[in-house]
Amino acid sequence: MAEFIMELNEEQKEVRDWLHGFAADVIRPAAAEWDEREETPWPVLQEAAKVGIYSLDFYAQQYFDPTGLGVPTALEELFWGDAGIALSIVGTGLAAVGVLANGTEEQIGTWIPQMYGDADDVKLAAFCSSEPDAGSDVASMRTRAVYDEAKDEWVINGTKTWVTNGGIANVHVVVAVVDPELGSKGHASFIVPPDTPGCSQGQKFQKHGIRASHTAEVVLDDVRVPGSCLLGGKEKLDERLARARERAGHGGTERVKNAAMATFEASRPAVGAMAVGTARAAYEVALEYAQTREQFGRPIIDNQGVAFQLADMRTRIDAARLLVWRASWMAVNGKPFTAAEGSMSKLYASETAKKVTAQAIQILGGNGYTREYPVERMHRDAAIYTIFEGTSEIQRLVIARTLSGVPIR
Ligand SMILES: Cc1cc2nc3c(=O)[nH]c(=O)nc-3n(C[C@H](O)[C@H](O)[C@H](O)COP(=O)(O)OP(=O)(O)OC[C@H]3O[C@@H](n4cnc5c(N)ncnc54)[C@H](O)[C@@H]3O)c2cc1C
């Protein structure tokens, strides 16, 4: 097991500086334009693909860094540049991870390249789980996948919502119910290949923030996919369902829930790292502004009322980063999350981003409230972190249940 370190090594610093350069030179200057356009920033994605940032190889390298600091460092820098554009760059990764985690080697080799495309023909992927009536309550999912044995095909029907890259992705990864009796244990994930009949974009959402990231409904109307599109394969699914049926009533539900929770605990620090990036960006703008803006004949930072806010902002950001780094290190090294440390990092970092970006607006006064300065955009963007990948309330629920062993509602 790698030791927990709180300082990046030379190689990690080089990667961080390279990403920071891309975020500062390419992402940040494009942020206001794509926020207004509310569209996927294809030219930025192409640029990111050209230099190797939009690629599975890059994320795999960061992911397998045994210190656990590769992914959070990369995400912090990209989201420091701009959250909406950065989500467009990393959104495909959510679907790719779904395939990496559950797919066979053949599925990984076939589908992941089609998710990214290449620098001349950039492609996207989408991970479709949430539904209009199944957000926090994943077990209420209704999208159904039924096996047509005669044709070795799965037939999928349902509507997914709030899907990042939904409908514009080349490859969609869809979670669907295969056995309604088993609740969330009766779910399976499917690849919906490019141009599959019956798979279409529904409503595209106009959003409060991260507007450079496309979010839409995905409608699945008698979508037929070959048996080979079931992630992990039929044999593995049948075994898993048989085990789940056997365990039902023997405390097995708890064990399966625990396995699912371990997966979430491992992915939540990634959202925490995004939030740290946005918070740090707003803090830096506020610090510089406070040092240069003069009122009453002196820089506003000369007032404790302003300086103390900056002290609190920086303290919270550093604390959030430490929680994120700890949880990322635990995930990579397989340390059990006995106090829901992954949820803690996501909860604290996302609430920090909301608070710090609001404080930044306050410090910039009237300018902070206008689109002449980036902090109002950062504040709008920050609001997503307490919602997706489990809301703050759900994180508190998970932490409290883990600490107490009580099924708190
Ligand atoms: C921009 C954006 C991008 C997204 N991208 C994706 C994507 O790519 N793929 C995907 O599948 N999903 C995606 N989502 C969906 C996201 O994961 C859900 O919105 C999120 O899980 C919350 O679900 P909900 O919106 O249904 O809220 P609800 O579950 O309806 O919650 C509403 C409120 O009730 C509270 N609440 C609910 N249950 C409890 C409880 N038991 N105790 C206390 N409070 C509770 C919540 O905390 C929240 O405050 C995205 C959402 C957005 C906005």
User: What is the mean predicted confidence (pLDDT) over 293-315?
Assistant: 98
Closest by alpha carbon to 169, among 205, 199, 190? 199
350-382 confidence digits (pLDDT tens): 999 999 999 999 999 999 999 999 999 999 999
Nearest atom within ligand 1 for CA of residue 160: 11
Contacts of 228 (CB under 8 A, 6+ apart): 106, 107
pLDDT tier for residue 237 given thresholds of 50, 70 and 90: very high
CA–centroid distance, 141 to ligand 1, in Å, is 13
Determine the distance from the C-alpha atom of residue 14 to the mean position of all C-alpha atoms in its chain, rounded to a whole number.
24
User: What is the mean predicted confidence (pLDDT) over 299-322?
Assistant: 98
Question: Residue 187 pLDDT > 80, yes or no?
Answer: yes
132-184 confidence digits (pLDDT tens): 999 999 999 999 999 999 999 999 999 999 999 999 999 999 999 999 999 98
pLDDT tier for residue 56 given thresholds of 50, 70 and 90: confident
Nearest atom within ligand 1 for CA of residue 164: 8
Identify the weakest region by mean pLDDT among 222-236, 240-254, 377-391, 395-409.
240-254
Question: Residue 2 pLDDT > 80, yes or no?
Answer: yes
- Does residue 34's CB lie within 6 angstroms of at least one atom of ligand 1? no
**What's the first-to-final CA gap in the chain, in angstroms?**
36
Which pLDDT value is given to residue 260? 58
Nearest atom within ligand 1 for CA of residue 94: 8
pLDDT tier for residue 264 given thresholds of 50, 70 and 90: confident
CA dihedral 247, 249, 253, 254 (to 10 degrees): -110
- Does residue 393's CB lie within 6 angstroms of at least one atom of ligand 1? yes
The mean predicted confidence, pLDDT, of the chain is: 95
User: Would you say 215 and 205 are in contact if contact means Cβ atoms under 8 Å apart?
Assistant: yes
pLDDT tier for residue 26 given thresholds of 50, 70 and 90: very high
Report the predicted TM-score, pTM, of the whole model to 2 decimal places.
0.96
CA–centroid distance, 188 to ligand 1, in Å, is 20
Which pLDDT value is given to residue 101? 86
Question: Residue 261 pLDDT > 70, yes or no?
Answer: no
188-217 confidence digits (pLDDT tens): 999 999 999 999 999 999 999 999 999 999
* CA dist., res. 130 & res. 187, Å (int): 13
Contacts of 241 (CB under 8 A, 6+ apart): 178, 179, 182, 185, 186
Instruction: Supply the residue whose CA is at minimum distance from atom 24 of ligand 1.
Output: 135
pLDDT tier for residue 267 given thresholds of 50, 70 and 90: confident
- Does residue 384's CB lie within 6 angstroms of at least one atom of ligand 1? yes
Task: Express as a percent the part of the chain with pLDDT over 70.
Answer: 96
- Does residue 220's CB lie within 6 angstroms of at least one atom of ligand 1? no
| Residue whose entry in the numeric block shows the structure tokens 């620090």 | 269
Nearest atom within ligand 1 for CA of residue 205: 1
Catalytic, 389? Answer yes
* CA dist., res. 304 & res. 52, Å (int): 45
Pocket test for ligand 1, best of 85, 115, 142, 162 (most atoms within 8 A of CB): 162
Instruction: Supply the residue whose CA is at minimum distance from atom 16 of ligand 1.
Output: 388
Question: Residue 252 pLDDT > 80, yes or no?
Answer: no
Residue 242: count other Cβ atoms within 10 Å of its Cβ.
Answer: 10
Instruction: Supply the residue whose CA is at minimum distance from atom 25 of ligand 1.
Output: 135
User: What is the mean predicted confidence (pLDDT) over 48-59?
Assistant: 94
Which pLDDT value is given to residue 12? 96
Question: Residue 254 pLDDT > 60, yes or no?
Answer: no
User: Would you say 289 and 367 are in contact if contact means Cβ atoms under 8 Å apart?
Assistant: yes
Which pLDDT value is given to residue 265? 80
